[in-house]
A and B are shown apart, each in its own frame.
Chain A
């Protein structure tokens, strides 16, 4: 171990001991990148267990590992990678090859563990040996039958799992054999080995079209690293552990993408530098025509990087710029450079000045109302990266370095922006944030707040959750942090179950204004309990906070309570680090505190009488019950 490495280890331990967790995460990332990852994983895990133990503030993810091979060696990596993501991973691992029993037996340890995520890591040759080993003994019809049998076994495992438990299920797809029995001829056959495993994988994807089941693309992971690196024959025979030790952190990282998405930790905003990041060279020195952005290397690599960023934009990631430059130079590039794929319009916020980048990022976060921990910053300059890392430890920093051909890989490999759902709202999110910035401007120009609300010409539509809005509803519970009274996270499965239960009243809130359709931005989930209507979930996306939509939502609930003759409406406030804007909500709306304290959990009640909180009169309201 080098001295530098020992220093980082010491700093990491120190940060942990002084409870500076975000600093500790930053240092752990350095350790992880620098050295033999397995030893670091073990070191990180031991330090966490010794110094923060159970008492950390991280969200807990309970993971059940069901496998057809020995997967114990991944535990250190899984815990370390979880820590890097700000998660506390707890693991349940039955003996290997127990996956069937664990799922089939309702009294199994796995069900008793109540996992949030269950991973079914089964190697193709273990569940379908005949497709891998005795291929040449089988006729085409037999192969087809075997394939269908395997698919239907997995289908019934999923069904039984679903009957017993609500958590998320991740299923590995299958890596085709490295050496097909017929060698180069395999590709010519109608049912070649590679082909038939491909068909089996396709049927897995069909099975995963149900809520809460996801396919881990194991085949593509193996391909990315290569069969020779991924598998370790010695270990396979010696310890029934076919995945090479060095590859386990990569497998753990793949799982962590799902954990982050489930726990609402997906990143939402990408802040980019400009010089030597979006283009080669320095515009202030080389001039707008001298920068490298064309179809020859290195210009071509920068174009490729812009394409990757543009794809993030299209999937709803908010883009922003933090660059030390003269605004006029940058304007000229945006306006006149023929190869600029990214336009000014794609960026919701631009900080082009000579301030420290950390200041610019803070300003961007404030203007867009996004918390720092949902932001990723990329820069080619190690000093700028270090400055941001130190000043804003919750921001994820990616140091791009000097070789633009690696930028796309560096930005993409961790899947920081990955989510487990994709809705219509996502496609246009960046536009919506831009609208929000515009309406902030309107707020400044309107004489009174009330004028501002009127000028917005808002309409609000309350709709029962349906098949189309289910994804979005679950996503809102997973991702909304600020205006969220209880912050209960629900999966699609959870919500679907409540949709079938007539005691629940579930409504999405869709808002339009003069700038466009904001889509579904709010959710209320209430439950009928004898004489009272109880508010379980009440949340509003941060981009539309501060427009009295929350008051309209409450008015809606009170109206239901009155129509259905409930005596009172009750609601809880569960404080989190993030939901400060929501804490005073019930008090402001004349609810009475019935239980709890100002700072901790509290329960509030509103007696349903003659006078109810009305809809603010600047809204057009639509209540749609069908």
Chain B
């Protein structure tokens, strides 16, 4: 699952796979803007067949947070 999420982030944010770690977040990644944040949410929903609540969408602001939320939903 983590690999899949990384793949998504690479694609959407145009960043290197090797640069992603738990601390990768909206704050330290320039391309992770609000528009791309929604793109990440849509892709996660489609990829994992889940439906995210607005609170969850708002809390997923780092790679670590994403894993935490997706794990909980599955």
Interface, chain A (partner B; CB < 8 A): 1, 36, 38-39, 42-43, 46, 72-73, 234-235, 237-239, 245-246
Contacting pair A72 B46 (CB below 8 A) = no
A246 and B39 contact, CB distance less than 8 A? no
B47 proximity list for chain A (CB < 8 A): 36, 39
Question: B21 at interface (Cβ–Cβ under 8 A)?
Answer: no
Q: Are the C-beta atoms of B11 and A42 separated by less than 8 Å?
A: yes
Name the B residues within 8 Å of A239 (CB-CB): 38
Asked whether any CB of chain A lies closer than 8 Å to the CB of B28, the reply is: no
A237 / chain B contacts, CB cutoff of 8 Å: 54
**Distance in Å from the Cβ of A7 to the closest Cβ of chain B?**
16
Residues of chain B contacted by A1 (CB below 8 angstroms): 7
A238 touches B57 (CB 8 A): yes
By Cβ-Cβ distance, the 9 closest A-B pairs, closest first, are A36-B46, A245-B42, A238-B54, A39-B43, A239-B38, A38-B42, A72-B35, A234-B54, A43-B11
Question: Are A42 and B12 touching (Cβ within 8 A)?
Answer: yes
Chain B residues, Cβ within 8 Å of A39? 8, 11, 43, 46-47
B14 on interface, CB distance cutoff 8 Å: yes
Q: How far does the Cβ of A28 sit from chain B's closest Cβ, in whole Å?
A: 16
Chain A residue with minimal CB distance to B35?
A: A72
Alpha-carbon separation in the docked complex, A46 to B46 (Å): 20
Q: How far is the CA of A30 from the CA of B7 in the complex (A)?
A: 21
Contacts of B11 in A (CB 8 A): 39, 42-43, 46
**Max chain A C-beta neighbours (<10 A), residue from B7, B14, B35:** B35
CB-defined A-B contacts under 8 Å, sample of 6: A36-B43, A38-B42, A38-B46, A39-B47, A42-B12, A73-B38
| Closest beta carbon of chain A to B35's beta carbon, Å | 6
Q: How many residues of B contact A (CB 8 A)?
A: 14
Q: Closest residue of chain A to B58, judged by CB?
A: A238
Question: Do B46 and A42 touch across chains, with their CB atoms under 8 A apart?
Answer: no
Residues of chain B touching chain A, judged by Cβ–Cβ distance below 8 Å, are: 7-8, 11-12, 14, 35, 38-39, 42-43, 46-47, 54, 57
Looking at B8, B11, B38, B43, the one whose CB has the most chain A CB atoms below 10 A away is B38
Q: Are A246 and B38 in contact (CB under 8 A)?
A: no
List residues of chain A with CB within 8 A of the CB of B42. Answer: 38, 245
Query: Chain A interface mostly helix, strand, loop or mixed?
Result: helix
Shortest distance from the beta carbon of A1 to any chain B beta carbon, whole Å? 8
User: Quick check: A38 and B38 within 8 Å, CB to CB?
Assistant: no
CB pair A38–B43 under 8 Å, yes or no, is: yes
Q: How far is A310 from B73 in the complex, measured between Cα atoms in Å?
A: 51
How far does the Cβ of B51 sit from chain A's closest Cβ, in whole Å? Answer: 8
Query: Which residues of the other chain, B, contact A234 by a CB distance below 8 angstroms?
Result: 54
Q: Separation in Å of the B14 CB from the closest CB of chain A?
A: 7
Identify the closest chain B residue to A37 (Cβ). B46
Closest chain A residue to B14, Cβ basis: A46
Q: How far is the CB of A39 from chain B (nearest CB, A)?
A: 6
Chain B's closest residue to A75 (CB) is: B35
- Docked Cα-Cα span, A105 to B40, in Å, equals 36
Report the bound CA distance from A73 to B38 in whole Å. Answer: 9
Closest B residue to A246 using CB positions: B46
Chain A residues, CB < 8 A from B43: 36, 38-39
CA distance A239 to B57 in the complex (A): 12
Given contacts A36-B46, A36-B47, A246-B46, A42 and B39 within 8 Å (CB-CB): yes
Q: Return chain B residues, CB-CB under 8 Å to A238.
A: 54, 57
The answer for the CA separation of A362 and B34 in the assembled complex, in Å, is 50
Given A39-B47, A238-B54, 5 more A-B residue pairs with CB atoms under 8 Å apart are A38-B42, A42-B12, A46-B14, A237-B54, A245-B46
Whole-angstrom distance between the alpha carbons of A246 and B45 in the complex? 11
CA–CA, A46 and B42, complex, Å: 18
Complex Cα distance, B57 from A375, in Å, reads 46
With both beta carbons as reference points, the residue of chain B lying nearest to A239 in the complex is identified as B38
Q: Specify which chain A residues have a CB less than 8 angstroms from the CB of B8 in the assembled complex.
A: 39
Residues of chain A with a CB closer than 8 A to B14's CB:
46
A43 to B54, CA, bound (A): 26
Most chain B beta-carbon neighbours within 10 Å: one of A72, A73, A239: A239
Minimum CB–CB distance from A47 to chain B (whole Å) comes to 11
Q: Which residue among B8, B11, B42 has the maximum number of chain A CB atoms within 10 Å of its CB?
A: B42
Q: How far is the CB of B27 from chain A (nearest CB, A)?
A: 21
Alpha-carbon separation in the docked complex, A43 to B42 (Å): 15
Instruction: Compute how far the CA of A246 lies from the CA of B7 in the bound complex, rounded to whole angstroms.
Output: 20
CA–CA, A234 and B47, complex, Å: 18
Report A-chain residues with C-beta under 8 Å of the C-beta of B7.
1
Residues on B with C-beta less than 8 A from A46 are 11, 14
Could you tell me the distance in whole angstroms from the C-beta of A527 to the nearest C-beta in chain B? 47
CA distance A374 to B25 in the complex (A): 49
A559 vs B72: C-alpha distance when bound (angstroms): 82
Expressed in whole angstroms, the minimum distance between the Cβ of A6 and any Cβ of chain B is 11
Q: How far is the CB of B54 from chain A (nearest CB, A)?
A: 5
CA distance A245 to B51 in the complex (A): 13
For B35, list chain A residues within 8 Å (CB): 72-73
Select from chain B the residue with minimum beta-carbon distance to A50.
B14
**In chain A, what residue has the closest Cβ to B51?**
A234
> Nearest chain-B residue to A35 (Cβ)?
B46
A33 CB to nearest B CB, Å: 16
Residues of A within 8 A of B46 (CB): 36, 38-39, 245-246
Cβ distance A250 to chain B, nearest Cβ, rounded Å: 15
What is the CB-to-nearest-CB distance from B52 to chain A, in angstroms, rounded to a whole number? Answer: 8
Nearest A residue to B8 via CB reads A39
Bound-complex Cα distance A296 to B71 (A): 51
**A residues less than 8 Å from B54 (CB atoms):** 234, 237-238
